[in-house]
Structure 1
Amino acid sequence: MPDGANGNRPGPEGSGRSVLAATMTGFARTLRAAGVGADHQRTQGLLRALRHLDAADREQVYWAGRLTLCAGPDDLPRYDRCFAAYFGGERARPSRGAPPMVTITRHTVAPGGAGDGEAGDGHAVPATASRAEVLRTRDVARMTAAELAEIHRMMALLRVPRERRRSRRFTPAHRGRLDVGRTVKDTLRRGGEPARLRRKAHRTRPRRVVLLADVSGSMAPYADTLLRFAHALVRSEPRATEVYSVGTRLTRVTAELRHRDPGTAMREVSRAIPDWSGGTRLGEELKEFLDQGSAARGAVVVVASDGWERGDPALLGLQMARLSRLARRVVWVNPHKGREGYLPLTGGMRAALPHVDAFVAGHSLAAFQELAERLSHA
């Protein structure tokens, strides 16, 4: 088996198959990031092909992937470069020689550009699969503008599926409890003749997520990436997601984030938020949010903030206790938690943490991917 990113060698047993699937799924993600149309269906085709091949033979893996994951001639050079970068070493090459490691050139948005898909400075930023992995774990506050644009492009591909929960409403079903009303109506429609018994079952719907994003001055290096994660949340489940910005004012930005294009969504959000880089009064904003209604009831509430509270920390603690009683789970995302040696010593964090179910980092693409996985099973 070719050496993957984690060096695992899948065998014939179930655990080996799962490692093989994880390795090839990661390879397909790398290809998609490079512009190859290696979608879920093509990835499944590759896994089916490898069941009939020797997965320990690098050449067979190379050709199986090339034949199943590539959609056209333009994908072949990208595939070759990604294969060499992802699996490392010398790949099984076709008759025409190619260097084992080449950069994959992508055009990214220039610093200060309004968003995805807009013209930047025209420079091409070289990126390899290994470099993309380094960027994935790097603190966004320490990135160059070109690196940040690359991270935002990858963030646009993020999907956040949700766990389904049972609704109180019913829907017709083949199995389930007896639907007396529909059964009686069918009987009357047939003139009193016995009719087939009708059944019903509870509907399911995705668990709601409410995100409160701190856009104050202390969060400025992370606010843009945080809102792009919010865009991914809304895009994945538009009807089961609410997003608010918090700072000196509480502002609902869900409608603005429903634009499919991230650049358009970010421009609309920028116009909607009146208190960019201002102060932080989380206690007052949280109280306003809870007083508006029951948006938090039964939802997973994510508070994204560094905890620098300019208001009364006691008020924040009181409102967090109130929130924890209403919400299914409360997750606090702090970008500084990803730094070595960080301790939550600010007044706001000390007041909030006793009422938080999960305290996670929010400083990198990898951290947001872990958060997405957490929300998928909350």
Structure 2
Amino acid sequence: MTDSARAAVEGRWADGPAGPDAVLLGFVRALRAAGVDASTERLYAFLRAVDVLRPGVRADVHAAGRATLCGGRDDLERYERVFAAYFGPAGGSVAPPVRTAPAPRTRLALRDAPSGARAADGSEPPGRPALALASSAEVLRHRDVGGLDAAERAQLNRLLAAFAPHGQTRLSARRRPARRGAVDPRRTVRELLRRGGEPALLRRHARVRRPRRMVLLVDVSGSMAPYADALLRFAHAAARRTPTEVFTIGTRLTRVTRELAHRDPDLAMAALAAAVPDWRGGTRLGELLREFLNRWGQRGMARGAVVVLLSDGWERGDPELLGTQMRRLHALAHRVVWANPRKARPGYVPLAGGMAAALPSVDVFVEGHSLAALERLAAVVRGAAAVDPAGAAVRRGAERA
């Protein structure tokens, strides 16, 4: 792709939610979050294919996406799941463009292809009927989870079910045969012996990359009640893709990795609700983090792992205890990430005792209030730098009180 074409595509990502391209671009973001390798080149091909076909017809957009965004069989199943969650079931009617105050939340962005939609001469039907409306899924990506109604939460749950964040990888001590890499002396000598001492090609090997363990500590106290369900569904999605241990923290520390092993997210949430006794209670972050480190973390679970704390940082106990335990955790873990839903509020400053004490031991401090924020969190877990909407990198200590 040329530099001018790439710049044009990246510029279209900046369209507002009401722009006609925002629906398709938000759909590609959801595909990336589900694990589909939808590169910028594939995005550009997708947009060109939709422009050639009928942009407002569901079947044409579906076919264009399958042909341009999917790179293999594994992508097809994820594509179908995300398409159904993002655009809704087939057969939906087209919502007319309504302009009322305040700004409307429009519904379906695509319509099903009617019979005989093309004219006899093959020309396109006039107008761009539905794609000019922003999809509710794209609007929903940036909405605060704590302010969603029941219907919006159901749609958010469908999008989170299609979510498949990838974790980091690490080099293990094991090696495998490879075309490039260090010389494998044993295999090379065996090959020489097999040939009777005649010269042979050097055999090489390379270190194997394995997924790095991820540990999620999810706050289920009363102050985190509006966000706990979405964050636990994010944990369920993460556990499907990478070795993950999940704990809930409130007044008790509960290991819920086994409950989240159910493939169906609703069954997993039901099992988790029965296993966690301290929903909507208080918060004892310092004491529970000490318990986690003494029972699991110090013995190996946190060593070299990416540890993610999803909490607002409210601490009923001694903040100094939390600061001490965070320093212990930081010494063990490969990376410590803190996702705070309150961080997205205008004028937020981490002045709460627990948050202020923990931040010096946090590598990356990000938001966790919306689906878009969880997508950025997944990128941070994968190893990318955390970037806020304004484009500034969020590094350790950048927001210390």
1:322 to 318, 328, 337: 328
Q: TM-score, normalised by structure 1?
A: 0.72
Give the Cα–Cα distance (whole angstroms) in 1 for the partners of residues 280 and 62 of structure 2: 48
Give the Cα–Cα distance (whole angstroms) in 2 for the partners of residues 58 and 87 of structure 1: 18
Give the Cα–Cα distance (whole angstroms) in 1 for the partners of residues 204 and 3 of structure 2: 46
Partner of 1:350: 356
Give the Cα–Cα distance (whole angstroms) in 1 for the partners of residues 158 and 343 of structure 2: 24
SS in 1 for 2:227: helix
Partner of 1:100: 129
Tell me the alpha carbon deviations over residues 114-141 of structure 1, each in whole angstroms, 9 at most, x when there is no partner. xxxxxxxxxxxxxx74332222212111
Instruction: Establish whether residue 242 from structure 1 lines up as the match of residue 245 from structure 2.
Output: yes
Give the Cα–Cα distance (whole angstroms) in 2 for the partners of residues 272 and 65 of structure 1: 43
Give the Cα–Cα distance (whole angstroms) in 2 for the partners of residues 321 and 32 of structure 1: 35
Following superposition, the deviation at residue 209 of structure 1 comes to 2.0
Distance 1:188 1:273, change over 3 A: farther
Partner of 1:152: 157
Following superposition, the deviation at residue 233 of structure 1 comes to 1.0
Distance 1:13 1:335, change over 3 A: closer
Instruction: Establish whether residue 202 from structure 1 lines up as the match of residue 198 from structure 2.
Output: no
Distance 1:75 1:32, change over 3 A: farther
Contact 1:81 1:102 in 2 (8 A): no
Following superposition, the deviation at residue 28 of structure 1 comes to 6.8
Give the Cα–Cα distance (whole angstroms) in 1 for the partners of residues 169 and 198 of structure 2: 39
Instruction: Establish whether residue 341 from structure 1 lines up as the match of residue 347 from structure 2.
Output: yes
Give the Cα–Cα distance (whole angstroms) in 1 for the partners of residues 369 and 46 of structure 2: 39
SS in 2 for 1:236: coil
Give the Cα–Cα distance (whole angstroms) in 2 for the partners of residues 272 and 87 of structure 1: 40
Distance 1:289 1:211, change over 3 A: same
Partner of 2:85: none
* Alignment of structure 1 residues 208-227 onto 2, 5 Å: 208-227=213-232
SS in 1 for 2:316: coil
SS in 1 for 2:330: helix
Instruction: Establish whether residue 374 from structure 1 lines up as the match of residue 371 from structure 2.
Output: no
Q: TM-score, normalised by structure 2?
A: 0.68
Give the Cα–Cα distance (whole angstroms) in 2 for the partners of residues 76 and 11 of structure 1: 37
Partner of 1:27: 24
* Alignment of structure 1 residues 136-215 onto 2, 5 Å: 136-188=141-193, 196-215=201-220
Following superposition, the deviation at residue 163 of structure 1 comes to 3.7
Distance 1:66 1:155, change over 3 A: closer
Give the Cα–Cα distance (whole angstroms) in 1 for the partners of residues 280 and 3 of structure 2: 53
Structure 2: unaligned runs, 5 residues or longer = 16-20, 31-35, 68-79, 81-87, 97-105, 111-116, 120-124, 385-401
1:289 to 289, 292, 298: 292
Letter aligned with residue 348 of structure 2:
Y
Following superposition, the deviation at residue 332 of structure 1 comes to 1.0
SS in 2 for 1:221: helix
Distance 1:144 1:44, change over 3 A: same
Instruction: Establish whether residue 298 from structure 1 lines up as the match of residue 304 from structure 2.
Output: yes
Partner of 1:68: 64
Give the Cα–Cα distance (whole angstroms) in 1 for the partners of residues 138 and 288 of structure 2: 37
Structure 1: unaligned runs, 5 residues or longer = 1-9, 34-38, 104-127
Distance 1:356 1:190, change over 3 A: same
Q: Which moved more, 1:155-164 or 1:182-191?
A: 182-191
Following superposition, the deviation at residue 143 of structure 1 comes to 1.4
Give the Cα–Cα distance (whole angstroms) in 2 for the partners of residues 296 and 31 of structure 1: 34
Give the Cα–Cα distance (whole angstroms) in 2 for the partners of residues 60 and 323 of structure 1: 54
Give the Cα–Cα distance (whole angstroms) in 1 for the partners of residues 94 and 210 of structure 2: 42
Instruction: Establish whether residue 310 from structure 1 lines up as the match of residue 289 from structure 2.
Output: no
* Alignment of structure 1 residues 56-135 onto 2, 5 Å: 65=61, 68-69=64-65, 94-95=118-119, 100-101=129-130, 129-135=134-140
Tell me the alpha carbon deviations over residues 39-95 of structure 1, each in whole angstroms, 9 at most, x when there is no partner. 879x987855877x8x9x7778779757534799x998779889x98999xxxx844
Tell me the alpha carbon deviations over residues 164-187 of structure 1, each in whole angstroms, 9 at most, x when there is no partner. 332222111122112122333444
Instruction: Establish whether residue 262 from structure 1 lines up as the match of residue 265 from structure 2.
Output: yes
Give the Cα–Cα distance (whole angstroms) in 1 for the partners of residues 23 and 55 of structure 2: 14
Give the Cα–Cα distance (whole angstroms) in 2 for the partners of residues 67 and 306 of structure 1: 43
Q: Report how many residues are paired.
A: 329
Following superposition, the deviation at residue 234 of structure 1 comes to 0.9
Following superposition, the deviation at residue 309 of structure 1 comes to 1.3
Q: Which moved more, 1:339-348 or 1:309-318?
A: 339-348
Following superposition, the deviation at residue 101 of structure 1 comes to 3.7
1:229 to 221, 234, 244: 234
Following superposition, the deviation at residue 342 of structure 1 comes to 2.3
Partner of 1:109: none
Contact 1:31 1:79 in 2 (8 A): no
Letter aligned with residue 144 of structure 1:
D
Identity of aligned residues (%): 51
Distance 1:155 1:284, change over 3 A: same
